[in-house]
Structure 1
Amino acid sequence: MAKKLNVTPRKQALQSRSRETVDVILEATARILVKEGYDRTSTNKIAQAAGVSIGSLYQYFPNKEALVAAVITKHTDAMMELIRSTALRVAQLPLEASARELVRVMIEAHGIAPKLHRVLTEQTPRVGKTAYMEKVDDEAIRLVRAYLEIHRDELCVDDLDLAAFIAVTTVEALTHAAVLRQPDLLAQPHFVDEVTSVVFRYLSVPDGKSRKRTRLSA
């Protein structure tokens, strides 16, 4: 059985100077990952790019995998903070306006350093961050579920748990495909418009129609 890699930092940076050092190391890790790719990235290259000794790097991180895992956490936390703040801000807006804003922000969050996002997505299983990413996805679904509860009367769906899952997964899948295959789409407003249209038409009550969606017979 292959030995499980240790991706836990050796120690936490508590003092401001230590936090600055760790931030510099993680920023250098991100740059090297984008420039060199995962396989060609090394702790020596990262230390050199960060302007620190290899010994200083190893004070905080035991290996390359731990560095990449830390970059994944930092990058994802920045994305989720953007989504959390937006969900709170648009909670009382009408469905169409808030749906567009939430979609826009989810796309914008994936557009934070898209080249880095692509590399990190590819390496998430490799450095053991799959469970963490699943928790992040679950939080996004909970945020959307809470929003849908507020706007239940504007919806044509009854199962809000399922609706939140479908809405978040749809946006995630389309955005992820754009990151991997057509990253230029992330900066184009019509991409936001089209993804919003997909989600809004799924969730909203059609004009002049009954609130409840007719279910297809088996």
Structure 2
Amino acid sequence: MTGAKRQLDPRKQPLQRRSEETRRRILDAATHVFADHGYDAGTTNRIAEYADVSIGSLYQYYPNKDAILLELATRHLDAGVELDDRLRMPDTLPPLHEVISTMVRNSIDNHRADPEFLRVLMEQAPRSSELMAKVVEVKEARTARLRDIMARSPEVTVDDQTTAAHLVISTIEMVVHRLLAGPEPIEPERLETQLIDMLSRYLTAPAT
């Protein structure tokens, strides 16, 4: 394990309820501090003050703010994976529109709580190798799942289904990120309706 990797690992794995509560307070505080002050100004001192813990206590759990950010980002990605587990239906094939609707709604639901923090995460935070590896892992899993559904769906008319699956997943991720966490966010219900319609038409358009 490299020194850089060790610097991003949480120092203390909470085994008791009190320890877990302290870590949760630190993570919640970091979300607010990064959203209010940006990543550069979101210091560990500010996070500790907001969490009402000593800076020494914070360092018992995280060596630096990069490690805090990595855990917050990982939790955000894992929450999206848990939502996508609804699509695991081995015995039945849901209508394609339902699949796309579920993916779009899951992505929107996972962005509703803290759009300002997600904007900071997307625009200001450093891209560690651990974080990027997690992003790639989640994206590849979502793409493979959609590609499998498309291959079995009689509704799909697009020829290059591998490329189409990549396009759909990338479009959902980028559009939801940009339009919910941007400076002039679109109302989520309107975004959901339009994005579902656009992607469903792309996959099922009659061949010309």
**Fold conserved (TM > 0.5)?**
yes
The AA in structure 1 aligned to 2:50 is: A
Where does the alignment leave 5 or more consecutive residues of structure 2 unmatched? Answer: none
Matches within 5 A, 1:27-176: 27-85=28-86, 87-88=87-88, 92-128=93-129, 129-151=131-153, 153-176=154-177
Q: Take 1:109 and 1:143, find their aligned partners in 2: how far apart are those partners?
A: 19
Aligned residue for 1:154, secondary structure, equals coil
Q: What is the aligned-residue identity percentage?
A: 35
Corresponding position: 1:204 with 2:204: yes
Contact 1:12–1:60 (8 Å) recurs in 2: yes
Partner residue in 2 for 1:209? none
Give the number of the structure whose alpha-carbon radius of gyration is greater.
Answer: 1
Q: Take 1:102 and 1:79, find their aligned partners in 2: how far apart are those partners?
A: 9
The alignment's TM-score, normalised by the length of structure 1, stands at 0.81
Q: Take 2:128 and 2:100, find their aligned partners in 1: how far apart are those partners?
A: 34
How far is the alpha carbon of 1:27 from its aligned partner? Answer: 0.7
Q: Take 1:148 and 1:26, find their aligned partners in 2: how far apart are those partners?
A: 38
The alignment's TM-score, normalised by the length of structure 2, stands at 0.85
How far is the alpha carbon of 1:76 from its aligned partner? Answer: 2.0
Q: Take 1:125 and 1:137, find their aligned partners in 2: how far apart are those partners?
A: 19
Contact 1:107–1:186 (8 Å) recurs in 2: no
- Higher mean C-alpha deviation, range 27-36 or range 98-107: 98-107
Partner residue in 1 for 2:191? 191
In 2 relative to 1, CA 126–98 (structure 1 residues): closer, same or farther, beyond 3 Å?
closer
Q: Take 1:14 and 1:150, find their aligned partners in 2: how far apart are those partners?
A: 45
In 2 relative to 1, CA 131–124 (structure 1 residues): closer, same or farther, beyond 3 Å?
farther
Structure 1 residue ranges (4+ consecutive) displaced by more than 6 angstroms after TM superposition = none
Aligned residue for 2:12, secondary structure, equals coil
